[in-house]
Amino acid sequence: MSIIHVQQIRAKLVSVFTNLIDLSDYEDKNVKDQDKHAKEKESAFLSRSLAAFTISAIGNLEPENAAKHVTDNYQDNGIDAIYFDDREKKLFLVQSKWHHDGRGSIDRGDCLKFINGVKDLIHLSFSKFNKKVNNLSKEITDALYDVDTRFVLLVSHTGHGSLGTDIQGDLDKFLSEMNDTSEIVEYKVLAQKEIHSLVVIGAATPIDFDVTIKDWGQVREPYTSFYGRVEATEISEWMEKYYPRIFDPNIRSFLGKTDINSSISETLEKEPEKFWYFNNGITVLCDSIKKKPINGNSHDFGVFECTNVSIVNGAQTVGSIGSAYAKSPDALKDVTVMIRFISLEKCPDGFATRVTRATNTQNRVESRDFISLDPYQQELQTQLMLDGIEYNYKAGNTISNLNSGFEVVEAVVSLACFHSDLSYAVLAKDKISRLWEDVNKPPYKAIFNPSLSSIKLWKIVQIHRSIDNILNALKGADKAGTIPVHGNRFLARQVFRRLDLKNLDDPNSDIQDAVNKIPEMTTQLTGLVRQAISIQYPNSYPANLFRNREKCQNIESWLDSQLQITSI
């Protein structure tokens, strides 16, 4: 069957990507051996089409657009396609191999070249890449400047063999290096079986399945829907079989290891029996939903037939369940999730879009909203208002003039960078919500407490803004240029530590002298931090480096040894 599958994959690629794939490097008509040249050209087309198909299928990209992101050519550095999904914050990097006979996998040399190419890309070493990669440089740079970007390495080939243990080890080692503080890199292998499944299924094929709903109920009017509890193990199967197609294209799909998803995963791991109580549940739309006769009219459980299923709310719950199941299937055996299935059979046009929008916007409570529970925030707001400063600590309100106002997230970041504890500046970069997740204890109470006067807070915010402005001016289009972006909280802390900031509580004291020193000091410290990284962590990705407290402490100690430090 292997060779038949290869032929079916080939037919799909030819039908979709003919005249879309750039083969201009094979247009030399003066070659002596035309038969050999034709075979090489066909192999190039199939390999490049496979790379485009991989991005199209996994990244939900139209074939025409996917073809434009193929980079395979001389000096591609092992990367055959690159695409950044700005909405999902995913940078897809593909290595593709076409095996005419349907055998084998990828060899270690190709894998190591791919890994080294990814490293060069992360370091923005565009001089090591061909014109096709450089044509995507803005897209790539935008991705690398975005702290939320995650990298998806896709190894795609038409062989039926699995990766060798040495290749698996190389990829695992690379992921270990990159994911030392948070999971920003993952890889997927799409061998012949997986590619053939994508060809057969097709991106547009509706998702139909049966679902068992426990303690189910029904809403009949105005539109039919069913609700109840579904076992997490069943939901994990949806993730495995239908990701990412099962998520409505109008919402962000599973985002991986975020603060919210870490909280979901923690509950699944430590308190699975309480998951139903803590989780908001999942909303699913389908063209139709019908109960099967099994178990009669009993509501303790029912089996329902669903057609054209699409999850419109709860993507993070579904994704976290899938990840938890992959790690430990037994951990989910007693977990159930509240879920509702809404049938669109008799719904008016546009109703599905309205449900999608409403379930992802209405009544959403962000973790920062709990800051408003702290009565001291109201006191700070009142004091600042008397001084003509607008301060907003409630979500939904906006500041009319930033020259005479600020909001609570900016205050939290500024105070974290000002604080004597390095871990606060690291949290401001890594998991800022941890700084306010409990308003009754540190770290929140360490930065917001009665010892913080309103005038001191406003001065700290203004100083931090000045530092940020200089850091924005220092960013550049290479690895060193990303340090002012990814290291902005760490660098702001270093500037704060070296400024003479006395009498901040005194309304008559002026911060202008300190502000005047910021440009030169920030520039000098940025250069020293770049030097420290080149010595201590030359291969680290800056976005993750500045989330690692131990590494930040080592860099800070090195800086202190180079400079005479003045405490704040």
Q: Distance (Å, rounded) from C-alpha 236 to C-alpha 211?
A: 12
Indicate left, alpha or beta for 494 from its phi (over 0: left) and psi (-120 to 50: alpha): alpha
According to the model, what pLDDT value does residue 250 have? Answer: 52
pLDDT tens-place string over residues 437-462: 888 899 999 999 999 999 999 999 99
Of 374, 296, 259, 282, the residue nearest 337 (C-alpha): 282
Q: What share of the chain is helix, strand, coil (3-state, %, to 5)?
A: 50, 15, 35
- DSSP H stretches of helix in 59-164: 63-67, 108-122, 131-135, 137-145
Give the rounded percent of residues in the chain with a pLDDT score beyond 70.
93
- Cα 117–Cα 83–Cα 122 angle in degrees, nearest 5: 35
pLDDT at residue 260 is higher than 80: no
- Cα 182–Cα 188–Cα 191 angle in degrees, nearest 5: 170
Residue 452 burial (10 A CB sphere; 0-12, 13-18, 19+): middle
* Contact between residue 359 and residue 245 where contact means Cβ atoms under 8 Å apart: no
Q: Distance (Å, rounded) from C-alpha 244 to C-alpha 319?
A: 10
According to the model, what pLDDT value does residue 372 have? Answer: 83
According to the model, what pLDDT value does residue 315 have? Answer: 84
Buried b or exposed e, range 276-302, using 16+ CB within 10 angstroms: eeebeebbbbbeebebeeeeeeeeeeb
Domain ranges of the chain: 2-201, 209-359, 367-562
pLDDT tens-place string over residues 288-343: 999 999 988 899 999 999 999 999 888 888 888 888 887 778 878 888 999 999 99
Q: Distance (Å, rounded) from C-alpha 315 to C-alpha 357?
A: 14
Contacts of 30 (CB under 8 A, 6+ apart): none
pLDDT tens-place string over residues 191-205: 998 888 888 766 457
According to the model, what pLDDT value does residue 184 have? Answer: 86
Contacts of 101 (CB under 8 A, 6+ apart): 2, 3, 6
- List phi, psi (to 5°) of 289: -140, 125
Partners of 154 in beta bridges: 94, 188
**Lowest pLDDT segment from 261-270, 289-298, 485-494:** 261-270
Structure tokens at 222: 């105005």
- List phi, psi (to 5°) of 309: -80, 140
Other CB atoms within a 10 A radius of the CB of residue 144 amount to 24
Q: Return the SS3 of 10.
A: helix
pLDDT at residue 122 is higher than 80: yes
Structure tokens at 556: 């800070």
| E-state strands within 260-331 | 282-286, 288-291, 301-307, 310-313
Q: Distance (Å, rounded) from C-alpha 529 to C-alpha 497?
A: 15
pLDDT at residue 214 is higher than 90: yes
- Cα 459–Cα 463–Cα 465 angle in degrees, nearest 5: 115
Partners of 66 in beta bridges: none
pLDDT tier at 259, thresholds 50, 70, 90: low
Of 568, 481, 470, the residue nearest 521 (C-alpha): 470
pLDDT at residue 363 is higher than 70: no
Q: What CATH code would you report for 2-201? A: 3.40.91
Q: Distance (Å, rounded) from C-alpha 525 to C-alpha 527?
A: 5
pLDDT at residue 477 is higher than 80: no
User: What is the pTM (predicted TM-score) of this model?
Assistant: 0.72
pLDDT tier at 566, thresholds 50, 70, 90: very low
**Lowest pLDDT segment from 80-84, 266-270, 382-386, 498-502:** 266-270
pLDDT tier at 540, thresholds 50, 70, 90: confident
Q: Distance (Å, rounded) from C-alpha 531 to C-alpha 480?
A: 9
According to the model, what pLDDT value does residue 475 have? Answer: 87
Cα separation values, 178 from 8, 183, 343, 540, Å: 37, 8, 43, 7
pLDDT tier at 1, thresholds 50, 70, 90: low
pLDDT tier at 565, thresholds 50, 70, 90: low
Structure tokens at 276: 């139903």
